[in-house]
Structure 1
Amino acid sequence: MSLLIAGSIATDHLMSFNGKFSDSLVVDQLDKLSVSFLVDDLEIRRGGVAPNMCFGLGRLGLRSVLVGAAGEDFTDYRSWLERHNVDCASVHISETRHTARFMCTTDTAMAQFATFYAGAMTEARLIELAPIVERVGEPEYVLIGADDPEAMRQHTHECRQRGYPFIADTSQQLAYSDGELIRDLIEGAALLFSNEYESHMIEAKTGWSTEDILGRVGIQVTTLGARGVQVRGRDIDDFELPAVTGVEPVEPTGVGDAFRAGFLGALARDLSLERAAQVGCVLAAYVLETVGTQDYDFTPDEFAVRVAKEYGEQAGTEVADRW
């Protein structure tokens, strides 16, 4: 069994603004918006939702398969990922476009302005999943993350046609997707990942209620920022879990990707949904405390100790036993 992680592959350009964006915005003049922010620093880091998740799974000792499109400038990034236990053999390399770029500025309140250049990502629609499955074996899950919208649609259709269990993680593409596309990407998913704002956007754009969504997916996992995470499903007892305490936030980019990696990593180790949410929250905390989405580090013992500190000795013991 394998984990296929499909989504954007990108380079992150991360900047910090020593102030609050809200102080520069005039609500009744937003239709004339023209502002510039003087930033204090620039960090160029590896990113993209799919590599971020694959890296997190690798840190948890699991080898996942990266599914996405990149440019010929992907060589160094590929080497980095392969050194961190990521299977990059199925990455499509564009002959004409650069790897996608994510450019993001974060203020002191952790609010963000971001711009995304798709580049080679637009060729992700050329990737077929069946040859990848033939190479690596039947997937435990295919996670379909934010990517070229047509690629997301095609991957979702192929999963339905071939019977691959899939996870819907529309995230950043929600803003650009209409209700028809969102409904198509969600229907029949084993899991649906979103943050709290995205969950409301899904309901608004699809016209589905919370109950309608739960009638179409197995489990809905909604991250709640500093309040933690909510897990709901048709055949489970719903629960909410608090986030990790004592975290000093440095840079929020990639936190959601880390949560997803931790959640999936725990499920792959046959841990419960509650443990999966706890592992996801702890992995997310490591990213929030670090500049860069793939620049955190820990030993298995350190990770288990942190789980135990936050969620109890039993949780820490179960996590330690599976890693």
Structure 2
Amino acid sequence: MNIVVTGSIAYDYLMRFPGSFKEHILTEALHQVSLSFLVEDMTKHWGGVAANIAFTMARFGISPKLMGTAGRDFPDYRRWLSEAGVDTSTVKQIDSVFTASFFCNTDEENNQIASFYSGAMALANQYTLAEALNGAQPDLVVVSPNDPQAMSNLTQECRDNDYRFVYDPSQQVARLDGNTLRHDMQGAYLMIVNEYEAHLICDKTGMTMDDLRQTIDLLVITHGGEGSEIYTNGDRIHVPAFAPTEIKDPTGAGDAFRAGFFTGLAYDRPLEMAGAMGALCATYTLEHIGPQGHRYNINEYVERFRQHQDDQGQLDVLLKHTVTS
């Protein structure tokens, strides 16, 4: 499949707070918040939703085209992604700005407070699929969090050209208004959101959960450690999570789930298997620091999967595309 993953490309600055945020947030004084958290450490990682998704997909022998805008500090990141198997030819480097940056503070209960500097991502609304693909026809376009106008432009371009697309607003749900969310999801083949985001979309658009299920051909709602629910053709498929051996950092787990799910679709696996593949990808990410810190190969992945679930040989196709590093 010719898969194009659009969205943010960023550097992640991850911090760890040795306490609980909720112990320092006074609900009766939320109108005047002034808080500072002294963190124990800070690490810098490759990140951005689109780049995270593309990186994990490349572990499975798929070379998705990463489409987005990055700044003058991107060359090292481009080399990292290219060596991992990601097609970075469709990343536009803009030398007048820096690459977007994500600053995230995680407490001991894995709650997170984050800020995002858009940088080069703010110019993504000037970059089209037509320019990036130069006449090539994609089989699937993933529209993940990006500059809000860029997301609207890309979903419209997909509709205009009859491209099959995934609408993945996730972190941008808080920023987008109801009319934009309604507009951008129209015609989407698939939407993946977590439970909170699904309820927020309903609140902003005035839609019910049933409305969402009827609007989107394939709707996936993730529930963290409780697994995920796949809704399609009036059916609901529950997919359990894979328990992690430990949780080092939750950043990027949702992106990894998406990558595993898209990989399952690319290899024409049943929806339940695609969901299970996403679940295990998310677990690997939870067990490592940073959204691109996992280094398993496909043999290890399949072996671990089969220790917990009988795939009835459905993952044999992956073993032909082993990534060894």
CA distance in 1, matches of 2:251, 2:41: 15
Describe how 1:92-103 pairs up with structure 2 within 5 A. 92-103=92-103
> How many pairs are equivalent?
319
Q: Residue in 2 aligned with 1:127?
A: 127
Q: Residue in 2 aligned with 1:187?
A: 186
Q: Which amino acid aligns with 1:300?
A: I
CA distance in 2, matches of 1:240, 1:147: 29
CA distance in 2, matches of 1:39, 1:100: 22
Q: How much does 1:95 deviate?
A: 2.8
Q: CA distance change for structure 1 residues 62 and 16 in 2, over 3 Å: closer, same or farther?
A: same
Equivalent position SS for 2:79:
helix
Consecutive unaligned residues of structure 1, counting only runs of 5 or more, are none
Q: Residue in 2 aligned with 1:321?
A: 317
Does 2:137 correspond to 1:138? yes
Q: Which amino acid aligns with 2:75?
A: T
Q: Residue in 2 aligned with 1:287?
A: 285
CA distance in 2, matches of 1:292, 1:322: 25
CA distance in 1, matches of 2:234, 2:2: 25
Q: Which amino acid aligns with 1:223?
A: T
Q: How much does 1:151 deviate?
A: 0.3
Q: How much does 1:265 deviate?
A: 0.6
CA distance in 2, matches of 1:177, 1:143: 18
Describe how 1:8-47 pairs up with structure 2 within 5 A. 8-47=8-47
CA distance in 1, matches of 2:205, 2:253: 26
CA distance in 1, matches of 2:255, 2:82: 18
* Residues 43-84 of structure 1: CA deviation (Å, up to 9, x unaligned): 100100000000000111100000110001100000000001
CA distance in 2, matches of 1:33, 1:246: 35
Q: How much does 1:9 deviate?
A: 0.6
Q: Which amino acid aligns with 1:215?
A: Q
Q: How much does 1:203 deviate?
A: 0.5
Aligned pair partner of 1:263 in 261, 264, 272: 261
Moved over 4 A (4+): none
Q: How much does 1:132 deviate?
A: 3.2
Q: Residue in 1 aligned with 2:249?
A: 251
**Conservation of the 8 A alpha-carbon contact between 1:301 and 1:320:** no
Q: How much does 1:321 deviate?
A: 3.0
**Conservation of the 8 A alpha-carbon contact between 2:227 and 2:239:** yes
Q: Residue in 2 aligned with 1:75?
A: 75
Consecutive unaligned residues of structure 2, counting only runs of 5 or more, are 320-325
Q: CA distance change for structure 1 residues 7 and 246 in 2, over 3 Å: closer, same or farther?
A: closer
CA distance in 1, matches of 2:126, 2:100: 16
Q: Residue in 1 aligned with 2:236?
A: 238
Does 2:190 correspond to 1:177? no
Equivalent position SS for 1:177:
coil
Q: Which amino acid aligns with 1:292?
A: G
Q: Which amino acid aligns with 1:200?
A: H
CA distance in 1, matches of 2:61, 2:259: 11
CA distance in 1, matches of 2:67, 2:15: 28
**Conservation of the 8 A alpha-carbon contact between 1:278 and 1:311:** no
**Conservation of the 8 A alpha-carbon contact between 2:12 and 2:104:** yes
Q: How much does 1:215 deviate?
A: 2.0
CA distance in 2, matches of 1:16, 1:247: 19
Q: Which amino acid aligns with 2:316?
A: A
Q: Residue in 2 aligned with 1:55?
A: 55
**Conservation of the 8 A alpha-carbon contact between 2:244 and 2:283:** no
Sequence identity, in percent? 39
Q: How much does 1:311 deviate?
A: 2.1
